[in-house]
Structure 1
Amino acid sequence: MADFGGADTEAFRAEAREWLAANFPKSLGADKAALEAAIMSPAKPEGDLAVWKERMGAKGWGVPTWPKALGGGGLSTAEARVLQQEMAAIGAVNPIVGMGVNMFGPTLLEYGTEEQKQRYIPDIATGKVRWCQGFSEPGAGSDLASLQTKAEDKGDHFLVNGSKIWTSGGQYADMIFCLVRTDQSKKHEGISFVVFSMHQPGVEVRPIKLIAGNSPFCETFFTDVQVPKENLIGPLNGGWSVAKRLLQHERSGMGGRMGSSKVKEPALGVVAKKYVGEDEQGRLADTDLRTRIILNEIDAKALQQTVLRAALEAKGNSGPSAATSIMKNANMKVAQDKAELTLEFMGHQGLGWEGGDFTAEELAAVRTWLSGKAGSIYGGSNEVQNNIISKRILGLPDLTQSH
């Protein structure tokens, strides 16, 4: 569809509003924060949430701009934006989420064969299948191309052996998109991109408990895992190009979370007043803290606008660009600064781990602060993103190769 506006878009707005009124369970709109938490939970949705997920999946509006023939909505960018506005107006949240939607799906639409798209995209569009990512290894993190998980050619299939680490949601996933080494003689040009089931023999997952108390990441081990040749995405030994594209989609999502937040949170200054108090004019009593909170909110707003602009530009070109590295770093900086400010104004109440002396909000604040430290590492560390920015955006010379 064309990216049109005006009367045509308004006609779609009426259609979307009518469909949402008939299909979004009103019980879910009472607490948007609780709804988003339930959607992100690994637990299988039940009750009205299960109904909402099924309806959005059947309509294709969980992935509104994906092709209709593959289970998507077939909407234009303008229509998808209108749909998002109408959902926000009634407290609705998209229940079709995950790495399949944000990372693998968009990449497969570019690199997959028609048969592969028909096999995998519909189940992503309905949220039926959960995906995880098999990229980082114990000895291949920032230098991802040094990975050693090996896929041996056995005729009609590959035999995969090795291990991955920081596999987000691996203990809940049905499928994995994975980088494997298919040529030992070359570094980047010896890597292939394959997908396979997490439920087959030879796959072992061990959750990693983090300092924040949860286990969102896992160690994943592969022992003689059979992967059919038709599960190769892109060309043999051409996986590095596919992976770079997928990482752009990942960083675009990580940079865009603040730009498209589904949950309206109280302004930081409003929360701070409960701990610091107000002056005679009703402002936050601590002027220095007030200034730093305002600057953080300005940065957040600037990031939101930049993300929205970049998303529109990406739709008009060939997808996300290297600029996603800028947004990824900016998003993490804004989020980490916010977490630091929150603990600062909460004082000792922001350092609780458990017990009745702390509110749920205070206990969440310290966990958010701790888990947020990983944000400048995963998805490509700040240093890696800065290298990408310097070389691919600013055109600066690669000093590591100048001697």
Structure 2
Amino acid sequence: MDYRENAEELAFRTRVREWLLVNAPTNWREEAKTEEQMGALHRRWQRTLYEGGFVGLSWPVEYGGHGLTATYEAILNDELGRADTPRISFHNYLGRAIFTYGSEEQKQRFLPPMLRGDIQWCQGFSEPGAGSDLANLRTSAELKGDRYVVNGQKLWTSGAQHADWCVLLVRTDKDAAKHRGITCLLTSAKAPGITIRPIKISDGAPETCEMFFDDVEVPIDQQIGETGAGWRIAMTVLAFERGPGDIGMIATFQTALRRLEGIAAERGLLQDPETRKAIARVYVIGEALRLNVVEQLSQRNAGKPPGPEGSVARLLLTKAEQAMRTLELELSGAAAFTEPGDTSFASYLRSRTISIFGGTSQIQKNILANQVLGMPR
């Protein structure tokens, strides 16, 4: 299969790269010290990308997108990773839940402001006791007249402290089979009865949150899809979350690996066999990830939506990131713990969480065993 870009795609890559030279924020990590500053930065960056014509590239034109193939989305993410810009919001995969299953009114209401960055979103899926086993969720929604009343708790909700809206999974039928009694709602993250508490992960950053719902009222016109269809909607969201969008992370990974090679060279370690072996191992894992994602991207361009095979990329990403951060920590040595400006230990701790976010590595292996290889449960 020929993975080379055609003339139009190469021209687009050149345009993105030239635009980033002028518009990409510099020193943004130093300028955005607090969570509030980082949240504001992400909103500004989303709007800047939108005004540059680089948001919603593969979305339908009628909902504010550009109607291009997934390749253009991948090229953009690749160049953003190379330029080391702030991440873009969760709109790309959460928005698909709305334009795939939402009503026309919901699409017109939510999708354009989502693309512009006017509203930020979070994903209310996981719960205590229902993270990897998502179908075990217990947050309930009882229909009373023209609105649902929601009670329960969500956990590991990334970015909830900055979000305006939440794509929320709730149980609407306690007697149905656990995969069938789930419904998907769109709720304001600032609705009365919602309490959001940031959680600091191992590196000290409040990356994620817990959310509490106490008699939260959600109008019935903010339900997307049919009642009880929440599981199917969730699988659509997760397939896109775990799939080819990770190509931006690959570029970030490659940039970080080049930086580590430079550090090893400065310290005279490139002639050390063990250091060379460690760098080569990280490179090989990263290259396997890149080729896997390109293959998935090719399948999407051929009309095949992301499926369970996306778990391969997720596993490879975890392995690559953890191997690289272990190498970074080893190169830093004692400075990782004695030098205030050395971030290698924090990066190492953060890499451990990758095997949990978006579904644990064990769950990814179960998905591949059951749904790809056809092995018995």
Q: Tell me which stretches of 4 or more aligned residues in structure 1 moved more than 4 Å.
A: 29-41, 77-89
Once the two structures are TM-superposed, the CA of residue 395 in structure 1 deviates from its matched residue by: 1.1
Aligned residues: 372
State how 1:79-98 maps to structure 2 within 5 Å. 91=83, 97-98=88-89
Of residues 71, 85, 91, the one that matches 1:100 is: 91
Distance 2:157 2:326 in 1: 27
Once the two structures are TM-superposed, the CA of residue 211 in structure 1 deviates from its matched residue by: 2.5
- Give the structure 1 partner of residue 232 of structure 2: 241
Paired residue secondary structure (2:213):
strand
Distance 1:323 1:163 in 2: 30
Distance 1:273 1:20 in 2: 28
- Give the structure 1 partner of residue 54 of structure 2: 61
Of residues 297, 303, 327, the one that matches 2:289 is: 303
Distance 1:86 1:207 in 2: 31
Q: Which runs of 5+ in 2 are unaligned?
A: none
- Give the structure 2 partner of residue 162 of structure 1: 152
Once the two structures are TM-superposed, the CA of residue 286 in structure 1 deviates from its matched residue by: 2.0
Once the two structures are TM-superposed, the CA of residue 205 in structure 1 deviates from its matched residue by: 0.6
Is residue 2:33 matched to residue 1:42?
no
Which amino acid letter does the alignment assign opposite residue 192 of structure 2? Answer: P
Of residues 289, 293, 318, the one that matches 1:332 is: 318
Which amino acid letter does the alignment assign opposite residue 344 of structure 2? Answer: A
Of residues 348, 355, 359, the one that matches 1:376 is: 355
CA deviation profile, 1:48-86 (whole Å, cap 9, x unmatched): x94x75453245421212122211123344555666688
Is residue 2:196 matched to residue 1:200?
no
Of residues 263, 266, 287, the one that matches 1:271 is: 263
Distance 1:123 1:253, change over 3 A: farther
Distance 1:38 1:315 in 2: 40
- Give the structure 1 partner of residue 102 of structure 2: 112
Distance 1:16 1:163, change over 3 A: same
Paired residue secondary structure (2:113):
helix
Greater shift in the superposed pair: 113-122 or 256-265:
256-265
Once the two structures are TM-superposed, the CA of residue 381 in structure 1 deviates from its matched residue by: 0.6
Distance 1:382 1:87 in 2: 26
Is residue 2:250 matched to residue 1:259?
yes
CA deviation profile, 1:312-356 (whole Å, cap 9, x unmatched): 31232242111111110110011001111111222111234xxxx
Once the two structures are TM-superposed, the CA of residue 28 in structure 1 deviates from its matched residue by: 3.7
Greater shift in the superposed pair: 137-146 or 310-319:
310-319
- Give the structure 1 partner of residue 306 of structure 2: 320
Which amino acid letter does the alignment assign opposite residue 319 of structure 1? Answer: P
Paired residue secondary structure (1:369):
helix
Distance 2:289 2:34 in 1: 27
Distance 1:300 1:42 in 2: 28
Distance 1:218 1:372 in 2: 18
What TM-score results when the alignment is normalised by the length of structure 2?
0.87
- Give the structure 2 partner of residue 13 of structure 1: 11
Which amino acid letter does the alignment assign opposite residue 11 of structure 2? Answer: R
Is residue 2:169 matched to residue 1:179?
yes
Cα contact 1:96–1:127 (8 A) shared by 2: no
Q: Which of the pair has more CA radius of gyration?
A: 1
Which amino acid letter does the alignment assign opposite residue 348 of structure 2? Answer: W
Greater shift in the superposed pair: 339-348 or 144-153:
339-348
Once the two structures are TM-superposed, the CA of residue 273 in structure 1 deviates from its matched residue by: 3.2
Cα contact 1:254–1:328 (8 A) shared by 2: no
Cα contact 1:191–1:239 (8 A) shared by 2: yes
Cα contact 1:29–1:92 (8 A) shared by 2: no
Once the two structures are TM-superposed, the CA of residue 120 in structure 1 deviates from its matched residue by: 1.1
Distance 1:129 1:390, change over 3 A: same
Paired residue secondary structure (2:333):
helix
Paired residue secondary structure (2:197):
strand
Distance 1:303 1:14, change over 3 A: closer
- Give the structure 1 partner of residue 123 of structure 2: 133
Distance 1:131 1:297 in 2: 34
- Give the structure 2 partner of residue 75 of structure 1: 68
Which amino acid letter does the alignment assign opposite residue 374 of structure 1? Answer: T
CA deviation profile, 1:8-64 (whole Å, cap 9, x unmatched): x27x938973x986x768364766987999999633249xx94x7545324542121
Greater shift in the superposed pair: 306-315 or 37-46:
37-46
Cα contact 1:134–1:177 (8 A) shared by 2: yes
Distance 2:157 2:174 in 1: 24
Cα contact 2:130–2:137 (8 A) shared by 1: yes
Greater shift in the superposed pair: 112-121 or 258-267:
258-267
Distance 1:390 1:219 in 2: 31
Of residues 118, 132, 139, the one that matches 1:142 is: 132
Of residues 370, 373, 377, the one that matches 1:394 is: 373
Paired residue secondary structure (2:252):
coil
Distance 1:36 1:304, change over 3 A: farther
Distance 1:129 1:81, change over 3 A: same
